[in-house]
């Protein structure tokens, strides 16, 4: 594994091994698929992975004014994977949809008439998605794996690509960028890859969740402020949802098998719930008189940040749903 400009460059096999070793405290329940459009195949010369990744970071930081490169991973035409933003931080990739997501940028222009995706890149994309599904313990579906195209550009509302959308990850991305193309072309490849990996989904048990309520919080090796910073995960960040596996003296243990503790003082307990209605309106206030700003579908996962009567706030922003359509 090579390292340059603070990015790591890996083959699929190296990525599989690397993912096993990393600890991610932030709860991740969605993988986003994008294409870079520019740079595309004509900007890649077979060996300039780091330079292209650095140029994307500079564009995101200098032109977009972001804190870092937007994506967590870039997948190149030769099937090589390059890391970007820290997995502990939410991506800057789909407006209002980034909180619990992991963002993959596939290098190329996969609109019809653009680049023809190489076999190596296609195989790497499928493998990376399968490896991440296994890592985070979720079943692949159009809720856990999403295309940028399915969300409105201006407000992030999911409209399946029916007006005001980017074509990303491309009108020719694995047969097309629609949900139906995903179901028919992309999803079966991911499921097939998972079978090869002896996929065992980790069913989350009745555990507690907490939101980080301070800009950055140190992760320590013992439930005590005078102990070392963890080598596994040094810090967790504001807004991240953390799984609590144990508690002691107002400290939370946040890893099943490693000594990673955070002070509970800087967190807020949140509850996890699943949407039971076929379609559930998300409103910008705690009553049905408020405007519907988004919809959720049956089976989607939400976190309860706050409660007002029968209404549940499901994010840092004003996003409310009726509790009767949730199951805890």
Which residues contact residue 318 at a Cβ distance below 8 angstroms, ignoring those fewer than 6 apart?
Answer: 284, 285
Tokens standing for residue 173: 């991305």
At closest approach, how far in Å is the CB of 169 from Zn ion?
7
281 in Cβ contact with 291 (< 8 Å): no
Q: Which residues contact 52 (CB under 8 A, 6 or more apart)?
A: 39, 43, 44, 74, 76, 107
Cis omega before residue 42 (within 30°)?
A: no
Task: Please report how close the Cβ of residue 5 comes to Zn ion at its closest, in angstroms.
Answer: 23
- Closer to Zn ion by CB, 52 or 243: give it: 52
Residue among 87 and 150 whose Cβ is closer to Zn ion: 150
Q: What tokens does 176 get?
A: 């097309």
Q: Which residues bind Zn ion (CB under 5 A)?
A: 34, 148, 168
**Smallest distance, Å, CB 66 to Zn ion?**
14
Instruction: Between 144 and 255, name the residue whose CB sits nearer to Zn ion.
Output: 144
Phi, psi of 6 (to 5 degrees): 70, 15
Specify which residues 104 forms β-bridges with: 33, 73
Nearer to Zn ion, 100 or 148 (CB): 148
Find the shortest distance in angstroms from Cβ 145 to Zn ion: 14
Backbone phi, psi, residue 167, to 5°: -80, -15
Q: Where are the beta strands (DSSP E) in 44-141?
A: 73-75, 81-83, 101-106
| Residue 306 beta carbon to Zn ion: minimum distance, rounded to whole angstroms | 31
Give the helix/strand (H/E) hosting 131.
helix 119-136
Q: Which is nearer to Zn ion, 34 or 89 (CB)?
A: 34
Task: Between 72 and 313, name the residue whose CB sits nearer to Zn ion.
Answer: 72
Four-point Cα dihedral 158, 159, 161, 164, nearest 10: -90
Length reported for the chain: 328
Residue with tokens 């939410």: 90
Output the smallest distance, CB 71 to Zn ion, in A. Answer: 9
32 vs 322, beta carbon nearer Zn ion: 32
Would residue 176 be called left, alpha or beta, if left means φ above 0 and alpha means ψ between -120 and 50 degrees? left
Phi, psi angle pair for 255, to nearest 5°: -135, 140
Smallest gap from Cβ 124 to Zn ion, in A, equals: 18
Residue (36 or 144) nearer to Zn ion, CB: 36
Query: CA-CA distance, 217 to 267, in Å (whole number)?
Result: 9
- CB of 106: closest distance to Zn ion in angstroms? 10
């Amino acid at each position: 594994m090579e390292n340059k400009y603070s990015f790591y460059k890996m083959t699929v096999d190296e990525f599989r091994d690397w993912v096993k070793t990393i600890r991610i405290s932030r709860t991740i329940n969605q993988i986003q698929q994008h294409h870079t459009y520019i740079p595309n195949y004509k900007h890649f010369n077979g060996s300039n992975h780091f330079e292209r990744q650095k140029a994307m970071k500079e564009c995101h930081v200098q032109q977009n004014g972001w804190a870092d490169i937007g994506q967590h991973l870039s997948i190149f035409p030769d099937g090589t994977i390059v890391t970007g933003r820290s997995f502990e931080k939410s991506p800057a990739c789909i407006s209002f949809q980034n909180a619990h997501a992991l963002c993959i940028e596939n290098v190329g222009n996969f609109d019809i008439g653009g680049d023809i995706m190489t076999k190596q890149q296609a195989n790497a994309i499928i493998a990376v998605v399968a490896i991440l599904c296994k890592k985070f313990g979720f079943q692949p579906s159009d809720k856990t794996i999403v295309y940028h195209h399915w969300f409105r550009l201006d407000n992030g509302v999911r409209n399946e690509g029916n007006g005001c959308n980017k074509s990303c990850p491309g009108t020719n991305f694995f047969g097309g960028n629609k949900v139906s193309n995903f179901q028919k072309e992309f999803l079966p490849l991911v499921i097939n890859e998972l079978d090869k990996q002896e996929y065992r989904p980790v069913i989350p048990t009745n555990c507690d969740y907490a939101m980080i309520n301070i800009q950055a919080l140190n992760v320590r090796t013992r439930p005590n402020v005078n102990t070392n910073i963890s080598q596994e995960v040094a810090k967790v960040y504001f807004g991240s949802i953390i799984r609590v596996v144990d508690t002691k003296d107002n400290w939370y243990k946040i890893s099943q098998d490693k000594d990673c503790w955070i002070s509970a003082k800087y967190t807020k307990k949140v509850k996890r719930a699943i949407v039971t209605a076929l379609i559930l309106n998300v409103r910008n206030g705690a009553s049905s008189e408020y405007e519907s700003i988004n919809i959720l579908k049956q089976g989607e996962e939400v976190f309860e940040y706050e409660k007002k009567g029968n209404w549940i706030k499901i994010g840092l922003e004003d996003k409310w749903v009726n509790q009767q359509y949730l199951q805890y």
